[in-house]
């Protein structure tokens, strides 16, 4: 199972939120590039870079940070946040993203999202399936829907999606353990490569996610708060 550290960006700084609430932001480093270089120095190969400013607006905001990390490290970057148009997608790939994650766009404009999947392929386009009480949430987790997360993933799997990142918003940033029942359900009912996100608080959590069958695990606050020892 891949361990994928998260770098979330607000106002150009590396931050973490609790349950997606922007008012809870805690700044961990003024320079995200320093964070990325530290991860690479410790053997990390992948990073999940989220433009939280972009997630709240209608376009990518922090693409220069993406460019700096991509050009000054060898990390493979999955980029998300603010992907609303073909131009946004071009900006992300032109600035060094290895993969991009689309969540809100897959709900708001599935035709465009599937067009991206057709053009760039399933190795480049990740489905973001973030949920609250198993219902898909979008636009920086501000908007809730009536879409069941498993149904949502199954529908896009039928269209060719391979990689899925699923965050249980209630767990995100809480250091309270991961949504193992949810992830087991997704793995039992689909054949996607599932990347878990949210709630990791210990090495034991990661061992359980591996046992369940997750392809990767995104880890944020547990790293920054030095819980993985």
Domains of the chain from N-terminus onward: 2-224 (3.20.20.70)
pTM for the structure as a whole: 0.92
Q: Of 3 and 142, which is predicted with more confidence?
A: 3
pLDDT (average), residues 151-177: 88
Q: Lowest-confidence range among 8-22, 68-82, 139-153?
A: 139-153
Convert the pLDDT of each residue in 26-54 to its tens digit: 999 999 999 999 999 999 999 999 999 99
pLDDT given for residue 24 in this prediction = 86
Is the confidence at residue 119, as pLDDT, over 80?
yes
Which residues are identified as catalytic?
8, 130
3-state secondary structure the chain: CEEEEEEEEECCEEEEEECCEEEEEEEEECCHHHHHHHHHHCCCCEEEEEEHHHHHCCCCCCHHHHHHHHHHCCCEEEEECCCCCHHHHHHHHHCCCCEEEECHHHHHCHHHHHHHHHHHCCCCEEEECCEECCEEEECCCCEEEEEEHHHHHHHHHCCCCCEEEEEECCCCCCCCCCCHHHHHHHHHHCCCEEEEECCCCCHHHHHHHHHHCCCEEEECHHHHCCCCC
- Output the average pLDDT for the chain: 92
């Amino acid at each position: 199972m891949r361990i994928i550290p998260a770098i979330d960006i607000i106002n150009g700084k590396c931050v973490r939120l609790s349950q997606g609430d922007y008012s809870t932001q805690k700044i961990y480093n003024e320079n995200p590039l320093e964070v990325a270089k530290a991860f690479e120095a410790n053997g990390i190969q992948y990073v999940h870079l989220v433009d939280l400013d972009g997630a709240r607006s209608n376009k990518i905001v922090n693409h220069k940070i993406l460019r700096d990390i991509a050009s000054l490290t060898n990390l493979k970057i999955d980029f998300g946040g603010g992907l609303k148009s073909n131009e946004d997608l071009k900006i992300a790939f032109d600035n060094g993203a290895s993969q991009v994650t689309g969540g809100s766009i897959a709900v708001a404009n599935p035709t465009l999202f599937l067009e991206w999947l057709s053009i760039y392929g399933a190795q480049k386009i990740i489905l973001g399936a973030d949920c609250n009480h198993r219902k898909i949430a979008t636009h920086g987790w501000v908007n809730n829907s009536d879409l069941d997360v498993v149904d949502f993933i199954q529908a896009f799997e039928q269209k060719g999606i391979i990689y899925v990142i699923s965050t249980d918003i209630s767990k995100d940033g809480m250091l309270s353990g991961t949504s193992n029942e949810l992830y087991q359900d997704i793995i039992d009912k689909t054949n996607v490569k599932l990347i878990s996100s949210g709630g990791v608080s210990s090495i034991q959590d990661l061992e359980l996610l591996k046992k369940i069958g997750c392809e990767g695990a995104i880890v944020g606050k547990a790293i920054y708060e030095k819980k993985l020892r």
